[in-house]
Amino acid sequence: MTHNDIDTLVNSFIVDTAKGEVNPRVQQVTVRLLGDLFKAIEDLDLQPSEIWKGLEYLAETGASHEMGLLAAGLGLERFIDIRADEAEARAGLTGGTPRTIEGPLYVAGAPVCQGFARLDDGTESAEGEVLFMQGTVMDANGKPLPGATVEVWHANLMGNYSFFDKSQSAFNLRRTIVTDSQGNYQFRSIVPSGYGCPPQGSTQQLLNLLGRHGRRPAHIHFFVYADGYRKLTTQINIDGDEYLWDDFAFASREGLVPQVKKISAPDQLDSKQLSKPFSSIDFNFTLHKE
Ligand code: MBD
Ligand code: FE
């Protein structure tokens, strides 16, 4: 069929058969996506077995709760971010902390703490390295924002996230921190490890066929928001990770790789009541006005 014939066919299937109330946006999107799919089937001469295999693949990906992971791995989530960046640039907004993808592993409802939080439940204290991270939430003029919210979540030493990994305690490595009267936040945690897609999962299966790995560099996720300001979704990467610029989810960005300071001076260890050197990251978040 020609592409014109396909457009006519899709319209006859979807638009001409409409009887009751129509949601014009849903109709528009359905016609467009279906038309594009049919054209791809025609152009690639996709065989019925391949088409059914594709549908089975998506069904299986959904059934195993990997649709979000697949969206990250195919760059769809990154593409959505690029479009958001472009919209911000058009609105004349520059200089805020760069956004990057949320990913599929956020869980709402983490415990709320004022100013400071310890994220880890201590189960990996023996093997893990302590991390302190701190900074200020501010507006584009550098004015600190007291009472702003910093939601933070990251993986453990196995690269796994609590809730999805049922072996971890509830909300391990997840907290909601409210900035103090100076707009400051601080947390104590352990330095996370990188993430790898489940090796037998459907996302990794496709990545294998594409000759791609499914690894992410070590990173920490954030939502940062305050009344009257745009919500920021971002991450920082742990510098030095071998996958830092080879992230399967394309989320690494200039400006989101803070320096990691190694603290080993006895007086500084004493002040934190620690016996081993720890890492420290200073990082400020800059929000745009709504
Ligand atoms: C992650 O931890 C993540 O942040 C993303 C985007 C995809 C998979 C795992
Ligand atoms: Fe993550």
Give residue-wise pLDDT tens across range 183-199.
999 999 999 999 999 99
Interface predicted TM-score of the whole assembly (ipTM), two decimals? 0.98
**Mean pLDDT of the residues in the chain:** 97
Using the mean position of ligand 1's atoms as its centre, give its distance from the Cα of residue 22 in Å.
37
- Chain-centroid distance of CA 71 in Å reads 11
Stretch 55-84: mean pLDDT: 98
Q: Whose CA is nearest to atom 5 of ligand 1?
A: 103
Mean pLDDT of 134-143: 97
CA 268 – ligand 1 centroid, Å: 33
**Which atom of ligand 1 approaches the CA of 102 most closely?**
6
230 Cα–ligand 1 center, Å:
23
Residues with CB under 6 Å of ligand 1 are: 69, 72, 101, 103-105, 195, 216, 249, 251
CB atoms within 10 A of CB 7: 16
The reported pLDDT for the residue numbered 225 is 98
Largest pairwise CA distance in the chain: 77
Residue with tokens 């742990």: 238
Mean pLDDT of 6-33: 97
| 186 dihedral zone (left: phi>0; alpha: psi -120 to 50; beta) | beta
Nearest to 240 by CA among 286, 279, 197, 188: 279
The pLDDT tens digits for 39-53 are: 999 999 999 999 999
The closest residue, in CA terms, to atom 3 on ligand 1 is: 103
